[in-house]
Each structure stands twice: as structure tokens, then as C-alpha cells.
Amino acid sequence: MNWPAVRAIYGFEMARFWRTALQSIVAPVLSTSLYFVVFGAAIGGRVTDIGGVPYGAFIVPGLIMLALLTQSIANASFGIYFPRFAGTIYEILSAPVSPLEVVLGYVGAAASKSILIGLIILATAALFVPLRIEHPVWMIAFLLLTAVTFSLFGFLIGLWADGFERLQLVPLLIVTPLTFLGGSFYAIDMLPPFWRTLSLVNPVVYLISGFRWSFFGTADVGVGISLAMVLLFLALCLGAVTWIFRTGYRLKS
Amino acid sequence: MQPIVSIANLSKVYASGLAALSDVNLEIRRGEIFALLGPNGAGKTTLISIVCGIVTPSGGRILVDGHDIARDYRAARKAIGLVPQELTTDAFETVWATTSFSRGLFGLKPDPAHIERVLRDLSLWDKRDSRIMTLSGGMKRRVLIAKALAHEPRILFLDEPTAGVDVALRQDMWRLVRGLRDQGVTIILTTHYIDEAEEMADRVGVIRKGRIILVEEKAELMRKLGRKQLTLQLQSPLVQVPPALSGHRLELAAGGGELVYTYDTRGEPTGITALLTDLAAAGIAFSDLRTSQSSLEEIFVDLVREDA
């Protein structure tokens, strides 16, 4: 293993994160606070509690997941797309690094950033609502797994994209709707039967449900299923990344 | 001695169907400066990119310092430093950070003393904390060289190092390249400037349409370059070179209307004075004269011409 290379890529990416700290930390914290004000205060005034959890607290795991997904994808996709766009990828391609080391560097950094943001949002939320975390180990596990999985997914998007527009396409048109419809702000059983059934094909439902279970012990679907779904998606992303590096798709001509 | 880079039967056909390289065979000697000369689109960059691992070859085999670039890519790539043709830099990084990054990427532990030496050699030390985007084009070129030297490579590829570079930087670059050669680094540079090959190279290879059509010692090419011809237009044509002039390297041309004398410009004497004296003594009058030189440029143009 070429650990100095992993460290170099990881360090490079984290430096970019701190350099743009205002954008990378303050923006998600601000938007999450706005969600609290709008959803927590406005809706929370009418919906007192869901399954025994006060509405303000109920939405916290969903909001963290929302940030985790969008930040993981945005950081990882930009991280690998930009060198391809600027041409600096030549150095990575000509360096004595294996695909695994490249992925560890880029995905590791993207996941670190989104976990950091997730924790900052959790801390911010704790200022607004009383929180309890029933299964902290599982909470960390879901946080880690989701961050890694969606950073891998973002890395794939960054490899696939051939323009800045495409880079935004998947996050805007697929991930954001899935996240909003994934039960960030409501329990799935509050939906009419048709939509409830449809929700079960939305992978984000399983993430939010499992994550929320680690907080309050209540879930839309079984926590085992949630975990299995995350691991399945992780395996799919790993497979796709392996295939890309093996074939050189979009990386080498 | 075993060549440091050995390329055998290398071919590359791009997905578009373009055959960029066809059956290239080339050996680079340890410690030499090799200039790969060729017009735009001849395959110079493709060749370099394949050796460095950026482009996948369609066929053939490459050994770098004895290591197969596909099977033993780590060892092969560690030996190589690449300065690309385009000024592709991380605009927001500082000179120091980007150079240190390159060293790490190639698997080496940080060595601030080495990075400092490289930056000083390239007159970049004062700019070490500057962001790359604030630097001029020539400075960015230096940064790319610094990055390529950060991991102490034994082979340095310079792809069109002086394209769009001013005279001062060009001189600096040549000095640097010679210094590296003196330290034992093998240097392979591509160029379409003939004078650059003349100035720098120990050997010259010419590539055209994806094929290596000539590899020769520069001294040998220079010998050809040194050959010059004096053509005398005679007032009355000759049937044969008069015996009185047989001591000179003379040939008849243009149906006996011209007398052509071939000589070496570096010869002392060139023999021109003696020839002219002998011509006067033999009573041969001429109406006009001209000299011509087969420059490396002419050789090169001949070689790469479409119908050549």
C-alpha cells in the first residue's frame, strides 16, 4: 500500500474543505437552522408528536441524513471531477497508486467532511430541541456507512460526468427528491397506502428510518432491513468503482 | 548496458479509430538526453503518455528500468517524472503544497530539504507561498517541473518543455536539464523546435504519423548538417571534370552546365580558395555561384514530408 499517496490525496481534499470553510460548514448549518425554524416551529406547532417523539426532535435524524447525503455526493463528485476538468488528473494517473488508494483518499476525505458537517448539525439541533440517542454505536455506524456509501456514489458521478451540468444533474433531480420523499419530515405510515407502498422502493427511506431508530428506538421499517439496504448500496457502488478502474472508463483513453 | 526505457512493438489505436502509434520500437540509454522530434499530431504525446501510464496501449511491451509498465507499474512509475505539455495546475494551491503533494503521491515521505532544493533550483523559492493562479505562464511551467522532480525520478519526460516560453526561461530550462543529466537523470524531451534538439540532445529520434522513422546520434546528424555545397554555373558546359581538377570533390550537374563542390564547413581549410585558383588556371569561367547547406531542418522536413 502506498500510504503516503493516500495521505497526500486525503490532505489535499481536506485542505480544500478548510479553505472553503464558510461555504462548506456555515452554509449547511444555516440551511438546517432554517429547516428547524420553518418545519419545526410552523409544522411542529400543529403536529405535536410522532410516535411519542416531539416533532422538532423527530426531524433531526432526517435533516442530518439530508445533509450527509448531499454533502457526501457534492464533495466526492467535485473532488474527482475537478482534476478531470482541469487536467491535473494526469498526475494521479501517472503516479504509483492503485485504484484502491485513490478511492481511499478521495472518498475518505469526502466522507470525513460530511460526517463532520453531520455532527455540527447534530450539535446545532441540540440547541433547538432536547435530543436523546438510544443507540449511539448504531448512530455512529449508520453515519459512517451512509457517508462512505454516498461519497462512493458521488465519486462515481464525478467520474461519469462530462460537464458541470451533469455533475449537478443526479444530485438535483434524483437525490434531493428522494431525500425529501424519504421521510425526513414525516413517518411513512402518515402517508396514504399507495404512497406508503411506493416509498418502500426509495432507498433513502431505509437510511432515515434506521438512523432515526438509533436516536428514538422507533422506525418505519426494521433496522435490519435498513442496514441490509445500506450495505447493498455500498456493495453496488464498490462494484461500479472497481469496474471503472479496471476498464479505465472516462479516466484513460 | 541495459537500456533504461525499452519500447517494443508498441501500437495505439484510439476508440475513434485513429492509429496514433504503429509498431514503435525504441530504446533509451541510461543517462542520455533523447529528443523526440516530430510535427504536431505525429504521436509524441501519445508515446509519452503510454510510458507514463496515462494512456493504455493497444499492443506492445514497455520496460522502464527493467519493470514492465503494466505488471509492475508501481516500480516503473516511481522511476518516472512527467512534465506535461499543458499548463495543468491546481490553481488554488500554493507552490509548496502542490510540490509536497506530488512527492507524497509517489509514495515518499516528506522531505522539506529536497523540496526546498528543487524550488531553489527552479527560482521558485520566493514564490513558495504563492497560489499557483497568481503566477505567470513561465512560472507555472517551472512549478510543473518542480512537481515532476519532487520524487527524485531517474527518468524525466518533458513534453514540449519550451512551447510558448520566453528566451530567458528557455535558457534556464536547458541549464537545468543539463544539470539533471549530470546527476545521472535520463531525459526524454519532445519538441518540434529543431534548434532545441540540436542544442540539447545526445540522440535524436524523428516520429511521423505514429512511426519512428529515424534514431541517430546528434553528432551524426550534425555531420550531415555540416555538409555544404558550392554550385558554379559554367559559361560553357563541360563533358567531364577536367583531370587538372580531379583533386577536388567535384561533380557535374545540370547536363554539364554546373559544377558542384561538396565540402565540410568545419574543415580547415574548406578548399574553396584552392578550387577557385585551379579553376582559373584551367581556364574555366563561371557566370554565377551559390552555396547550399543540408540543415537538420532540411533533413527533418524531408523526413516528415507527407510523400517522403
pLDDT in tens, B257-284: 888 888 876 666 778 888 888 888 888 8
B218 close contact with A: CB closer than 8 A: no
Does one domain contain both B174 and B219? yes
Interface residue B106 vs chain A (CB under 8 A): yes
Q: What is the pLDDT of residue B304?
A: 66
A60 assigned to some structural domain = yes
Chain B interface, mutation test: which of A91, A100, A106, A244, most B Cβ atoms within 10 Å? A91
Domain that holds residue B267: 226-293
Confidence of residue B297 (pLDDT cuts 50, 70, 90): low
pLDDT of residue B303: 67
Q: At B124, phi and psi to the nearest 5?
A: -110, 0
* Residue B308: inside a domain: no
Same domain, B289 and B184: no
**pLDDT on residue B308:** 43
Task: Please give the residue of chain B at the shortest CA–CA distance from A101.
Answer: B105
Q: Which domain holds residue A54?
A: 3-247
- The 10s digit of each residue's pLDDT in B23-75 is 999 999 999 999 998 888 889 999 999 999 999 999 999 999 999 999 999 99
Last residue of a domain, one of B223, B240, B259: B223
Q: Does B254 touch chain A (CB under 8 A)?
A: no
Assess contact for A185 and A62: CB atoms under 8 A. Answer: yes
Grid cell locating B184: 545521472
- Among candidates B15, B97, B105 on the partner chain, residue whose Cβ is nearest the Cβ of A95: B105
Same domain, B29 and B175: yes
Q: How much is the average pLDDT of B13-27?
A: 94
Q: What ipTM was assigned to the predicted interfaces of this complex?
A: 0.86
B304 belongs to a structural domain: no
Q: Say whether A96 and B106 touch across the interface (CB within 8 A).
A: yes
Which residues in chain A land under pLDDT 70? none
pLDDT at site B307: 47
Contact B53 A93 (CB under 8 A): yes
Question: What is the pLDDT, as a whole number, of residue B296?
Answer: 62
The predicted structure's pLDDT at residue A182: 86
Residue reference for cell 527552479 = B122
One domain for residues B210 and B273: no
Q: What pTM does this model have?
A: 0.84
From B223, B243, B267, the end of a domain falls on B223
| Cβ–Cβ contact B71 with A under 8 A | no
Q: Provide DSSP, A11-33.
A: HHHHHHHHHTHIIIIIHHHHHHH
Residue B272 sits in a domain whose CATH number is 3.30.70
Report pLDDT for B225. Answer: 60
Q: How many structural domains compose chain B? A: 2
Whether residue B94 is predicted with pLDDT greater than 60 in this model: the reply is yes
**Which positions in chain A touch B54 (Cβ < 8 Å)?**
90, 93-94, 252
| Residue B4 vs residues B27, B36, B184, B262: alpha-carbon distances, Å | 8, 16, 12, 39
What pLDDT is attached to residue A211? Answer: 92
Nearest to A94 among B77, B89, B93 (CB): B77
What is the model's pLDDT at position A177? Answer: 85
B280 in a domain, yes or no? yes
Residue B205 lies inside a defined structural domain of this protein: yes
Q: Is residue B276 part of a domain?
A: yes
Classify residue A253: in a domain, yes or no: no
How many folded domains does chain A comprise?
Answer: 1
Q: Do B14 and A94 touch (CB under 8 A)?
A: no
B159 close to B44: Cβ distance less than 8 angstroms: yes
State the pLDDT at residue B185. 96
- Give chain B's mean pLDDT: 88
